Structure 1
Amino acid sequence: MNKILLTLALILSIVVFGQSEDSKSKTMGFFISPNVQIGYNLGNSIKDNQNNDSPYYQQYVAPYLPNDFTYGIGVVGGYHIFRFFALGTGIRYNFIANDQHLLNWIIQPKFYLGKDDWKGFIELEYGKQFNHSNVNNAEHYGLKIGYQDAFSKRLNNEIGVFIYTQNYKLSGATFIGLSFGATIFSNKKYTVYRND
């Protein structure tokens, strides 16, 4: 039994410490990624289908309607598992309307396209509200397409176009907009600046 454990430990150490420089640079390792967003509401079917002057609309519908614009700020931490895939989780604040300040816990799988420091990406997002606001238990689903570029040894910047749906009681919205962010990561050999 001891010989088997010793053999497994030896194989594991060869795999972990015997990587080439090239294989070390394929992933970022652990990362943290703050970002900001601004988006436009593509429309709200309730706004279009209701009599805006009715008492029901004014009392029960209007307080839940989102603004035409939204903005948000968030931070995600995670691990870049494979060259083409990273998984993160974090929190996001979104301002939807005057009484709708939503704090969401989010899960964010991210798929990378490209091999060099300039990488396109496709990012999926699911968020669930955890604070109390004019609305509660809201959730959203999102898609972002963009690219990241190396800025230094441990820093990437990124820009993307997003679309996400925000669903909650009596209303909801679909926002499209721009996202700007940065990623700080643990693997200093990931970018072209690795030898600086």
Structure 2
Amino acid sequence: MNKYLCSIFCVIISLKTFSQEKSNKLGLFGVVEANVGFDVAAMIKENQATNEYERQHLDPGKFNYGFVAQVGYQPLNWFALGTGVRYSYVDPNFHVIYWTVQPFFIVSNPKDEEFTFISAHFGTQINKTASENAKLYGLSVGFFEPINKNLGNKFQINLEVQNFDGNSTFFVGFAYGIAIFSNKNL
């Protein structure tokens, strides 16, 4: 039995050591990004509101902007996981700070230097504001693009819902970030 385990172990080590092409991974990464989003439905509803009562009962925010600081790790060629903090301005009364979790599903070729991804992101409010229990849910498509050994760009298009104590706002947005990663071989 030990001979078989030793043989299997030696084969795996030799394949890992002498393989010609290695797939690229970000390794550990950190991202600082800025984002902006627009709620097209709220803009239309505001233009259609005919009296002050209807204007007062509109969902908060026609646009949002914010900043994200995130750290993550890519353990597999097709999967990475990030977590961090996000500030989001939605309305003068809604300055929300979220704790976020963002799984990335890498859909590009693992040997490419550009990491195209589809991602979901989830957040829960960690500060006090006009909302007591805000939540964030979203989907995004984007890519990491290495610039040099440890620095890269992150571009992403977002579809997200921010729920403020029962009032939901749907945003379509864009995010750009600077990424620092541990893999120097990209």
TM-score by length of 1: 0.77
- Structure 2 match to 1:41: 39
- Structure 1 match to 2:52: 53
- Structure 1 match to 2:73: 79
Q: 1:5-44 residue pairs with structure 2 within 5 A? A: 14=13, 18=17, 22-23=21-22, 25-44=23-42
Choose which of 114, 133, 138 in structure 2 pairs with 1:137: 133
Choose which of 135, 155, 162 in structure 1 pairs with 2:158: 162
Q: Answer whether contact 1:160 1:179 (CA < 8 A) is retained.
A: yes
CA–CA distance in structure 2, aligned partners of residues 19 and 130 of structure 1: 48
SS at match of 1:132: coil
SS at match of 1:43: helix
Matched letter for residue 140 of structure 1: L
Q: Answer whether contact 1:85 1:109 (CA < 8 A) is retained.
A: yes
CA–CA distance in structure 2, aligned partners of residues 139 and 151 of structure 1: 34
C-alpha RMSD of matched pairs (Å)? 3.0
Over residues 80-124 of structure 1, what are the superposed CA-to-partner deviations in whole Å (9 max), with x where a residue is unaligned? 011111011111000000010000000000011222012321111
1:186 aligns with 2:182: yes
1:128 aligns with 2:127: no
- Structure 2 match to 1:194: none
Query: Unaligned regions of 5+ residues in structure 1, if any?
Result: 192-196
Aligned length: 178
1:103 aligns with 2:103: no
- Report the identity percentage: 30
